[in-house]
Copies of this chain bind each other. A is one copy, B any other.
């Protein structure tokens, strides 16, 4: 069906549909199924797959209307939408049939199995192996930094299937059932005491042949799709709070769903340095009277303001039609520097009190949590060093590092 969409038509259609269907006291699963069937849950998706083929530029209109009604959307927490987009782009119809709806309704939870102990910055260096044997794929190896693996029903797995070709060409992408004996999920505790990630061990875990995504050896290309949507999601994190005008049982259900998968991220504001607390802390501790502290505080506030404005300029440029490119790396690097500066300022403002943690510590341990979380920001999601490479090579166009890992992967030096 080829509809001639306009903003007013979209707005009217969505309103009408919501008026007819939205019920804040429906069961979440029932509402989600109705929503998925309507196509308004993922309007930019094809009509064939739970969408209405809406031009992406009009999607915000749909969201506005949902917001106006306080209507709950499809399940979005965790990495489920990355899974959905990846399967939409690269999966078989069988896979889409099996998974897409239950991703959107929130019935099934997903995790992403890319990183390994031996391949961090060098993501293409995966050594988890998948071998076809007796009509199934047999998987052995280890993944790490897997968020919510202990809740997940399925995983997006990048595994090596060919060791005799260059590293980027020997990987294949799979959907793996996480609820099987060969998959062992262990929590991974961080230095700040949280355990937000998992290690996942595969010992002769199996994957049916029809759960391979795209061709053998095409894994890197498929993974790039997943990562592209991950970056987009990360950049879109801010804003978009749902306007809950009305009471309703569905909100509780949704809050519970959301809490489960957002729990690993509770310390992320501390990781970013909590610039919002800096001035109040300086006032509360009277360190605002110390000129060395004032200089560092001012520097922090300025950096933070400038980073906000820079992000705003980037968004404006995007809206003017410039494609979103590696500028994300600039923002990430800025956030890393801001967090490090905040670490310094919080240390200066708390002074000797910053030796204390937990209930004994300043702000009931929040300052200590900042001090113990900030070191992660320059590592997680790509180290500062990797970001600088990206900026230099892709933004500034400087020559790439010569490659030493271009031969058959079997011969490449590795851990």
Interface residues of A (CB under 8 A from B): 291-292, 294-295, 402, 404
Contact = CB atoms under 8 A, between A and B. Distances in A.
Nearest to A403: B402
Contacts of A404: 402
Contacts of A291: 291-292, 294-295
Nearest to A290: B291
A334 to B, nearest CB: 23
Contacts of A292: 291-292, 295
Nearest to A402: B404
A341 to B, nearest CB: 15
9 contacts: A291-B291, A291-B292, A291-B294, A291-B295, A292-B292, A292-B295, A295-B295, A402-B402, A402-B404
A301 to B, nearest CB: 16
**In the complex, the 8 A-B pairs of residues with the closest C-beta atoms, listed nearest first:** A291-B291, A292-B295, A402-B404, A291-B292, A402-B402, A295-B295, A292-B292, A291-B295
A294 B291 CA distance: 10
A402 B405 CA distance: 12
Nearest to A295: B292
Contacts of A294: 291
A412 to B, nearest CB: 14
Nearest to A293: B291
Contacts of A402: 402, 404
A292 B292 CA distance: 6
A357 to B, nearest CB: 28
A27 to B, nearest CB: 60
A196 to B, nearest CB: 32
A175 B291 CA distance: 60
A400 to B, nearest CB: 12
A295 B292 CA distance: 7
A81 to B, nearest CB: 41
A295 B299 CA distance: 15
A404 B295 CA distance: 46
A404 B403 CA distance: 11
A295 B402 CA distance: 43
A302 B176 CA distance: 59
A292 B299 CA distance: 12
Nearest to A298: B292
Given A292-B292, A292-B295, A402-B404, 6 more contacts: A291-B291, A291-B292, A291-B294, A291-B295, A295-B295, A402-B402
Nearest to A401: B402
A294 B294 CA distance: 13
Contacts of A295: 291-292, 295
